[in-house]
Amino acid sequence: MTPVTRVLVANRGEIALRIIRACHEEGLEAVAVYSAADRLSPHVRAADLAVEIGPAAPSESYLRIDRLLEAARATGAQAIHPGYGFLAERAAFAEAVEQAGLVFIGPPSTAIRAMGDKTEARRRMRAAGVPVVPGADAPVTDLGAALALAGEMGYPVMVKAAAGGGGKGMRVVRAAEELEGALATAASEALKAFGDAGVYIEKFIERPRHVEIQVLADATRTVHLGERECSVQRRHQKVLEEAPSVAVDAALRERMGAAAVAAAAAVGYRSAGTCEFLLAADGSFYFLEMNTRIQVEHPVTEMVYGIDLVREQLRIARGLPMQVPEGPLAPNGWAVECRITSEDPANGFMPSTGRLEFLRVPAGPGVRWDSGFEVGNDVTLHYDSMVAKLIVWGRDRREALRRMVRALDELVIIGIASNQGFQRRLVSDPAFMAGEIDIQFLDRRPDLAEARPAAELTRLAAIAAALAEDAARHARKPAIAESDAAHSAWLATARSEGLR
């Protein structure tokens, strides 16, 4: 067992707060880091210690490896958890942590590097017997070779960044004359996002589902915790996730799970990770990539399997065995996660900024709210647009979706525009409720982004009226002087009535 008593969380917002809470439940102290813009963020207050690491721009704060390591040294932290985003999948960061004599709470840097290079990952997966989408095993550098490969596979094809993920550096090409422009655009975008302009080509599977498998590995065993359905996407960014998937039965779950375990074993994986697959209508599936970190959507797996993935990461990094039962596991119930973002769907999903003036968070049975914001915080353009994750659990999908509708109706956000109404329309849509989705679902349904002013204005007007009435009721209450309280006839009568 590696002695760790204090963990530095190299991230911000909801995932930083999530990790800090897990540290405290494991009996560990947590160190927060924050930029100047995040000085008043909840994750800073929740930590045992906090260190400012630079101005608002991520390039001068959360992406500065030197400042993160210095913060760890200054506070006596023995380990660093990267969360997701920022440096979480940078092998160079994991290596720097290891070389500094600290514990990296995640997979070995060698595994991150192997899976971070998408073409290298494809080669390794093919060697391990994991099905991969037909395509190139090396970055494409020559237009002629790209045209020949695309012609051999048949259009449409997908141009993808070799060094990244998350929808950056990706272009669908449906005809040969589109390929040159797509290569240039994808390479430029990949360079900006990942510092590497390498791109490769693979066959584009029409209308597949995006299904991912959660894996967890310690020093002695690797297990999978079922699938997450992540097909509802906008511009390759996930909007809503659920577990399990309506398209996956027990037999398919076991086949996909075995492939994910083989993928993890092929790179000597440790910690929590996710293998992403394309699932075709005929039940065939193909490896896309492995996310070598905790996922944004990890709560849906936690809710249906009853396992705290972040605490398991903390245990595995300290050399402890995972607390996952032996033998096959089955999901219990259904969980759905809506990403609540500061975007205006009716205005092309334009980012919205401002101060969070009022927030009413949904509650009740089976409802979870993961957020790094509270009233008074500023939502800026410096960071990702996600304000919170709203997660619900139900005994089956029908109950979970009904609960999500109720939770979205309870949610009130004032001060910024959000995609709350869009999510409410999505989870109520008949096609979505029937499970008729794939990764092009939102492309075919632009109507879901259209605001429906009458219903939404009525709801907001009702909320405003209730708040106004509450304020007026308080204003109408008679003021009683302290000295007169004991002799108030109406107060005595009220007490007498209350006791009857």
- Name residues whose C-beta falls within 8 Å of residue 230's C-beta, 6 or more positions apart in sequence: 210, 211, 212, 238, 241, 276, 297
Task: Please name the residue ranges forming H helices in 59-178.
Answer: 65-75, 91-99, 109-116, 118-127, 143-153
Nearest to 3 by CA among 90, 132, 126, 101: 101
- What DSSP line would sit under 100-128, residue for residue? TT-EESSS-HHHHHHHHSHHHHHHHHHHT
CB 214 within 8 A of CB 298: yes
C-alpha R_g of the chain: 25
Most distant CA atoms of the chain, gap in Å: 96
Burial of 63 (0-12, 13-18, 19+ CB in 10 A): middle
> Residue 153 corresponds to which amino acid?
M
C-alpha to C-alpha distance for 349 and 363, rounded to whole angstroms: 27
C-alpha to C-alpha distance for 157 and 440, rounded to whole angstroms: 15
Nearest to 261 by CA among 273, 246, 278: 273
CB atoms within 10 A of CB 127: 9
CB 10 within 8 A of CB 53: no
Handedness of CA 63, 66, 69, 71 (dihedral sign): negative
Nearest to 317 by CA among 75, 15, 26, 122: 26
Local structure of residue 387 (DSSP, 8 states): E
C-alpha to C-alpha distance for 262 and 256, rounded to whole angstroms: 10
Residue 395 falls in the annotated catalytic set:
no
CB atoms within 10 A of CB 480: 11
Nearest to 403 by CA among 161, 53, 395, 188: 395
Catalytic position from the list 113, 293, 311, 397: 293
C-alpha to C-alpha distance for 91 and 331, rounded to whole angstroms: 33
Active site residues: 293
